[in-house]
Structure 1
Amino acid sequence: MFEDVPSALDGAVLDSAVLDTVFRQTEVGVHVLDRELRLVRVTGAVLAERGVEAGQVLGRPAAEAYRVFGVEVKESVLREVLDGGPPLRDVLVPGRPPHASGREHVYSVSVYPLREPGPGGRQRPALGLVATVMDVTERIRAQQRLALLYEARERIGRTLDVERTAQELVDVTVPGFAGSVVVALTDAVLRGKPPELRREGETPLLRCAAVGGSGDVRADGPLPEPGVVLLPGLFGERLPDGPELVAAEGGVRVVAPLAVRGQLLGAVFFRRPPGADPYDEDDLALVDGVTAHTATCLENALRFTREHIVMTALQSWPLRPEGETRHAVDLAQRHRPGGTGAGSWFDVIPLPGARVALVVGQVERPGPSSVATMGRLRTAVYSLSTLDLAPHELLARLHTVAQRLAREQGRAHAADEPVASCTIAVHDPVTGRVELARAGSSLCVAVRPDGSLDADLVDEGPLLGGDGPPFACSSHLLPEGTTLCLASSARADGGPAPARIAAALAAPGRGPHPMADDLAAILSPERVLLVARTLRLPAEDVAEWVVPAELSGVAPVRHAAVERVREWRLAVEPFTVELIVSELVTNAVRHGAPPVALRLLRGESSLTVEVRDGAATAPHLRHAKAGDEGGRGLHICSTLADAWGVRYEAEGKTVWAEVALGDIPG
């Protein structure tokens, strides 16, 4: 059946047929230039598409011929290829062909030397050049739109601030997508309030939030200033439901709302400079993607602003009045809540016996939940402090609270994830002893009156909610005037170098407040800081007696205590003091172990009675029956005293009672 088909085609006939087909029918632009760089042949379809007659370009020099197509070429580049240089491949060349009404196109151009085969495979000088030209405008524009959309997702919304988010939209789109951009937000959004649902036919009050570019956006004025109220006229007769091309003087502009789930947050206006390509339908899809992402970021920024207000309020609980602790420490405190949800806190808690507890903590997980956790842990510390526990025992019980909180949040976080770090220092102004315990890491240093710095007061311990007790603890007898510095842990930067801390705490004679200022300046903003100068209770405010281990020794110390109260001229009924001393000392002699000692502490608002003995057994409040001869001692104390309790020590215990000072009843 193939008998009539020739076994081979004549080479010249085949070449001629191929060239004729290429130049007459293919849509790919094929151009031939001779050695003088004159355009001698071009694809017919290209001429028809460009609306150019063959006589306008054939036979003309390349620069002149391609100028008819709206393309500027450099003949020096073509001459380099003709003289043996490397071919040009896929070079992007802009142009404005006459048929496109001045709109810029992009062409992919490849140029090769045109050679005739020589004898023995040798190359002869090039006869001219062959160039292929493809219009890749749509491909390039699609890539540019995707690149802009990617850049918008990377750069818009990084700050979680409403006005900065609006400015980020301007920075991303100027000048690549627009010559001038105006972003307007509703008055409610700019005031941090939730956006309202959009109602048909209503236009809310819009204020300029960010602007970029240059030139007039309207015929009657320049670009508006941020904060200016913008009437709907800037965005057309009405705010559109989506991105929309709006015809205006000087060309077409794009107006788009900034909305999320029917809630209007604002609007944005784009305009290109004169002479640039006008916007088209493809640009609307890009604007829709960019504005939708921006609106979501604005909503996130509003939510963050509201959470910032709540977290700042929670982290700014007032401390107890300094008057309650001013005989124990001279205190300076620094806290700059940044609203980041760091969950750091500090407390100064007065304890019985004129002592004071300094507490600094840090919730390890950032975010709004950390502030809630901080509040619950802080409340637990206050409650546990009423038990008069040693610092490491208080941390052990706080650890149980932290574990329960971690289990409650187990849906969002690992149930066994550590919750917080916490450092507790209890200072006794009578003895000058400081008891410390630490869970996790934090800044904990002491500067003695001679200027020496001790950064190893207590070792780091496990985090609360982590491995659990035992927690690191230590005890130090510090001279009066020692400065204790406690700061919450550094989550990100690890904190300043020890040398910088030592420099900030040098010269302790300056006082706690200047030292706190210098130290706070080198700490990260979310960290909290306590600087406490230790004080001693004046000797004239302390009275102490050793009690013999027999009941006959109770009466002498009871009378001595009453006489001392009279000498101090305290506004308290002596008989009340006599009963409390008698019952506490008698219980210690009968049920405790030697040595037994009685101590009175005079304060501004209370008198503290303390009885110390060597037994670890705990007294408990009994309710005696009507016929019982005893069992009413602690009941009498609890009735007469404003507060009482038991404090356990390394050897024995101390039972204390506080009586508030006031007018002596007449």
Structure 2
Amino acid sequence: MFEDVPPPSAAEGAAPARGVAASVLDRAVLDTVFRQASVGLHVLDRDLRLVRVTGAVLATRGVAAEDVLGRPATEAYRVFGVEVKEDVLREVLDGGPPMRDVLVRGRPPVEAGGERVYSVSVYPLRPPGAEGADRPPIGLVATVTDVTERIRAQQRLGLLYEARERIGRTLDVERTAGELVEVTVPGFARSVVVALTDAVLRGKPPELRRPGESPLLRCTAVGGSGALGADGPLPEPGAVLLPGLFGERLPDGPELVRKDGEVRLVAPLSVRGQLLGAVAFRPVPGADAYTEDDLALVEGITAHTATCLENALRFTREHIVMTALQSWPLRPEGETRHAVEVAQRHRPGGTGAGSWFDVIPLPGARVALVVGQVERPGLSAVATMGRLRTAVYSLATLDLSPHELLARLHAVTQRLAREQAPAHDADEPAASCTIAVHDPVTGRLELARAGASLCVAVRPDGSLDADLVEEGPLLGGEGPPFACSSHLLPEGSTLCLASSARADGGPSQARVAAALAAPDRGPQAMADDLAALLAPERVLLVARTLRLPVTDIAEWDVPAELSAVAPVRHAAEERVREWALGVDPLTVELIVSELVTNAVRHGAPPVTLRLLRGESTLTLEVRDGAETAPHLRHAKAGDEGGRGLHICSTLADAWGVRYEEEGKTVWAEVALDGASPPGWGGAAPAGQASG
């Protein structure tokens, strides 16, 4: 039936089936491809007319062969809803490189409202045989594959990735809702409306959703264009939207809702059964209707948005608590203004870094300046900061030296770490803290530092001292000993303390010197300049040192014999009368008598009595060279002594002991004109009997 033909050479390819002519086989293959293959195969002649096309393409697109065959490519493909650039096809026909996998978009009439995406490859068509390889093309052959679903799947994945990247960048509820609108308009929806519950908008925790219940929703973010059917224009933020835009009931998951002749996609914003709000998408005009794949996409986007909203709510609540905890008042200026002029700054950042500062009045007109910061920011850091600040203030009443105070504060920090360890192993508290104590009588400044901080002093002549004290271990870390130092500063020196300079490097020494080395400027102006150099959540103290006027100080050296008590006692009484203080001179005389007698009997020379006149208190200080301290005890009925400190504690408003490098100072404070001095009183450690 078929004519036998010799087998082709190696150059012509594999031999055809035995007994079948090659030309017949080729025609059969082509006929099968053009009639049955689902992949579009198009043939164009040299005039770029469409001369043959796969039959399946004509059938699926609802196009008759006579409507396209023999027509120019631009005209024929317009029937398929595709615009063809003839110059691109002509370039391939004239010997240019083939086109491979070029994406072309079209909208066939038979699929109204549905855009299709095709992958098109175009190759030159040459005569068969080896001799035809060098001849000009006799036309073009194009393969066309519908890749619409693949492209849409890629677009959905891209939109989901973009949503995860862009939604939730801020910890703000309303901004997060706005980011959802920005991501989905106009690519996925013509307009989007996001509504949140009243509880969420007020910063309260979301409530569990009850079946069949439709909570009150208010428009929070809206974007896009056009009206919403019979609802009129897009709603304004704050408008009540349910029932209405989201239907008579809020669906449990993403759902297609038909309203006013239009199908919208509505989805709730919920986390673990807690409803935060809802979102409605209106389709892009002319685009395909939303499908089940779009519902799955929206479910992923809304789940991520709801999680971001929950995080923003948690941050808002914690930020409110942190702001309340980290809002601390300075001590009344009247208690410290004779020792220092203070300016403080706090640059909030919302992270809860646990930074704090304090200005604490101490006995003897001294003042303690404290700056600290808890490591690892957060709500727990602010809570720890509050406890450490309270501990510092309480430990200051013991009249400890700065490095001893840090040692005890270190023990407090370790105890806090042990208390938190079962639940917060990764967040055990550790803190930096710098304590400076200024004595306005002598001008001496004592410092101790745990961790890193900015700690510099500028003298009135403009010289900068950035090495006041070395950096010590963190509180709660390696522990004592902590670095400490002592300096004698001239009056008018400026001390600058700022929390943790390690993380941000802190301002340069040159800029600090420029801000502080100006004797004619006050601490407030200096603090303004330095605050601009600080990182967020840092605190700053700028203190200018003062000296107590010599007219407010009276001092006597006391010989180490009991006969010297009476003259000193009378001298103190006379000075009180000269000062015309609102205090009973007899009270002063009794306190001086008991304290000086106790120092002479049980202490060691040299013994010194000093009176300090303040606005609200009179301070009496007796210093001796012994390191042992008196203690308050109750004498028996037959005892001749042992009542001295009992008398002092009864007559004075506060009393205590502070230790120095050589010796100790026992002090007592008496309020003037009914004023109440700071509560520094308390029993001193035992170790020496009282007289």
Q: Which residue of 2 aligns with 1:608?
A: 619
Stretches of structure 1 lacking an aligned partner (at least 5 in a row): none
CA distance, structure 1, for counterparts of residue 281 and residue 432 of structure 2: 51
Alpha-carbon distance change, 492 to 227 in structure 1, aligned in 2, over 3 angstroms: farther
Determine helix, strand or coil for the equivalent of 2:371: strand
Aligned pair partner of 1:245 in 252, 256, 261: 256
Alpha-carbon distance change, 210 to 416 in structure 1, aligned in 2, over 3 angstroms: closer
Aligned pair partner of 2:385 in 349, 357, 374: 374
Determine helix, strand or coil for the equivalent of 1:197: coil
Determine helix, strand or coil for the equivalent of 1:528: strand
Determine helix, strand or coil for the equivalent of 1:47: helix
CA distance, structure 2, for counterparts of residue 45 and residue 233 of structure 1: 46
Q: Which residue of 2 aligns with 1:469?
A: 480
Determine helix, strand or coil for the equivalent of 1:177: coil
Determine helix, strand or coil for the equivalent of 1:522: coil
Assess if the C-alpha contact under 8 Å between 2:113 and 2:287 holds in 1.
no
CA distance, structure 1, for counterparts of residue 403 and residue 19 of structure 2: 101
1:249, CA displacement in angstroms?
Answer: 4.2
Q: Which residue of 1 aligns with 2:335?
A: 324
Assess if the C-alpha contact under 8 Å between 1:309 and 1:339 holds in 2.
no
Tell me the TM-score normalized by structure 1: 0.94
Determine helix, strand or coil for the equivalent of 2:417: helix
Q: Which residue of 2 aligns with 1:26?
A: 37
CA distances 1:203-260 after superposition (whole Å, capped 9, x unpaired): 4333221111222223463223323343522223333332222234473222222223
Aligned pair partner of 1:160 in 171, 192, 208: 171
Q: Which residue of 2 aligns with 1:182?
A: 193
CA distance, structure 2, for counterparts of residue 9 and residue 395 of structure 1: 102
Aligned pair partner of 2:67 in 45, 50, 56: 56
Matched, 1:455 2:439: no
1:506, CA displacement in angstroms?
Answer: 4.2
CA distance, structure 1, for counterparts of residue 454 and residue 653 of structure 2: 37
Aligned pair partner of 2:440 in 394, 405, 429: 429
Matched, 1:438 2:452: no
Assess if the C-alpha contact under 8 Å between 2:107 and 2:116 holds in 1.
yes
1:420, CA displacement in angstroms?
Answer: 0.8
Alpha-carbon distance change, 147 to 313 in structure 1, aligned in 2, over 3 angstroms: same
Matched, 1:348 2:328: no
Aligned pair partner of 1:71 in 62, 78, 82: 82
Matched, 1:363 2:378: no
Amino acid at match of 1:234: L
Amino acid at match of 2:639: D
CA distance, structure 1, for counterparts of residue 614 and residue 505 of structure 2: 42
1:579, CA displacement in angstroms?
Answer: 2.3
CA distance, structure 2, for counterparts of residue 127 and residue 415 of structure 1: 76
CA distances 1:269-309 after superposition (whole Å, capped 9, x unpaired): 21134323332332122112211221222122112111111
Q: Which residue of 1 aligns with 2:498?
A: 487
Matched, 1:83 2:94: yes
Amino acid at match of 2:277: G
Assess if the C-alpha contact under 8 Å between 1:403 and 1:416 holds in 2.
no
Amino acid at match of 2:57: V
Q: Which residue of 1 aligns with 2:246?
A: 235
CA distance, structure 2, for counterparts of residue 500 and residue 223 of structure 1: 53
CA distance, structure 1, for counterparts of residue 539 and residue 294 of structure 2: 50
1:597, CA displacement in angstroms?
Answer: 0.7
Matched, 1:571 2:582: yes
CA distance, structure 2, for counterparts of residue 498 and residue 112 of structure 1: 72
Amino acid at match of 2:667: W
Amino acid at match of 1:628: D
Q: Which residue of 1 aligns with 2:324?
A: 313
Stretches of structure 2 lacking an aligned partner (at least 5 in a row): 1-15, 676-691
**Aligned residue runs from structure 1 range 651-666, under 5 A:** 651-662=662-673
Determine helix, strand or coil for the equivalent of 1:30: strand
Aligned pair partner of 2:638 in 603, 627, 634: 627
Q: Which residue of 2 aligns with 1:103?
A: 114
Determine helix, strand or coil for the equivalent of 2:543: strand
CA distance, structure 2, for counterparts of residue 495 and residue 14 of structure 1: 84
**Aligned residue runs from structure 1 range 278-293, under 5 A:** 278-293=289-304
CA distances 1:528-581 after superposition (whole Å, capped 9, x unpaired): 121222111111111111111222222211221121122222222323222222
1:417, CA displacement in angstroms?
Answer: 6.1
Alpha-carbon distance change, 663 to 108 in structure 1, aligned in 2, over 3 angstroms: closer
Alpha-carbon distance change, 497 to 87 in structure 1, aligned in 2, over 3 angstroms: farther
Determine helix, strand or coil for the equivalent of 2:507: coil
Determine helix, strand or coil for the equivalent of 1:40: strand
CA distance, structure 1, for counterparts of residue 52 and residue 502 of structure 2: 72
Determine helix, strand or coil for the equivalent of 1:140: helix
- Percent identity reads 85
Matched, 1:522 2:529: no
Assess if the C-alpha contact under 8 Å between 1:417 and 1:466 holds in 2.
no
Aligned pair partner of 2:509 in 472, 482, 498: 498
1:430, CA displacement in angstroms?
Answer: 0.7
CA distance, structure 1, for counterparts of residue 154 and residue 547 of structure 2: 75
Q: Which residue of 2 aligns with 1:533?
A: 544
CA distance, structure 2, for counterparts of residue 452 and residue 604 of structure 1: 33
1:321, CA displacement in angstroms?
Answer: 1.6
1:161, CA displacement in angstroms?
Answer: 0.7
Moved more, 117-126 or 428-437: 117-126
Q: Which residue of 1 aligns with 2:55?
A: 44
Matched, 1:547 2:570: no
Matched, 1:134 2:145: yes
Alpha-carbon distance change, 325 to 8 in structure 1, aligned in 2, over 3 angstroms: farther
1:118, CA displacement in angstroms?
Answer: 5.6
Amino acid at match of 1:531: V
**Aligned residue runs from structure 1 range 577-592, under 5 A:** 577-592=588-603
Q: Which residue of 2 aligns with 1:276?
A: 287
Tell me the TM-score normalized by structure 2: 0.90
Matched, 1:397 2:408: yes
Assess if the C-alpha contact under 8 Å between 1:481 and 1:535 holds in 2.
yes
Determine helix, strand or coil for the equivalent of 1:257: strand
Q: Which residue of 2 aligns with 1:295?
A: 306
Assess if the C-alpha contact under 8 Å between 1:406 and 1:415 holds in 2.
no
Alpha-carbon distance change, 108 to 247 in structure 1, aligned in 2, over 3 angstroms: same
CA distance, structure 2, for counterparts of residue 238 and residue 19 of structure 1: 58
Assess if the C-alpha contact under 8 Å between 2:452 and 2:502 holds in 1.
no
Q: Which residue of 2 aligns with 1:383?
A: 394
